[in-house]
Structure 1
């Protein structure tokens, strides 16, 4: 049995997580959302498709972590 992923554009992800598409592109992509894990570039192109199930799991996992320090670049330091 294979798991089917839900692929979303930046705009679709924006609607789902209530972040502005610009924030996703400029602040979350490549700091919180990592290529190959949270998003792919199908066929080696420029278009980005986000993988909803992975993003959702990581967002919920973040609720379990009790201690993190926000950093200036948007990343977090977990101590």
Structure 2
């Protein structure tokens, strides 16, 4: 399966969030490094994995647990 890698700006266009919101509020709280994004070659640039983000958005939306806390292993804590 091929993956679609997006910059912060490209992701912001897809999910209709400001790039600053993605960097300041979503990254490392909802979007987890190693699952939703990575830093190629250990640099500063961040690439987001669209298919994983899309799947998690749909899962959270369908489950009705939009307030769940994402866990590092891919699960979620529902409080």
Q: Same fold (TM over 0.5)?
A: yes
**Offset of 1:78 from its aligned partner?**
1.7
Bigger-Rg structure (1/2) = 1
Q: Which residue of 1 aligns with 2:35?
A: 37
Measured on the aligned residues, the alpha-carbon RMSD in Å equals 2.0
* Structure 2: stretches of 5+ with no match in the other structure: 70-75
**Offset of 1:64 from its aligned partner?**
1.8
Say whether 1:6 aligns with 2:4. yes
Runs of 4+ in structure 1 displaced over 6 angstroms? none
Counterpart mapping for 1:55-74 below 5 A: 55-67=53-65, 69=67
Question: Structure 2 length normalisation: TM-score?
Answer: 0.83
Aligned length: 73
For the Cα contact (< 8 Å) 2:60–2:66, is it kept in 1?
Answer: no
**Could you say if the C-alpha distance between residues 69 and 16 of structure 1 is closer, same or farther in structure 2, counting changes exceeding 3 Å?**
closer
* Structure 1: stretches of 5+ with no match in the other structure: none
**Offset of 1:66 from its aligned partner?**
2.4
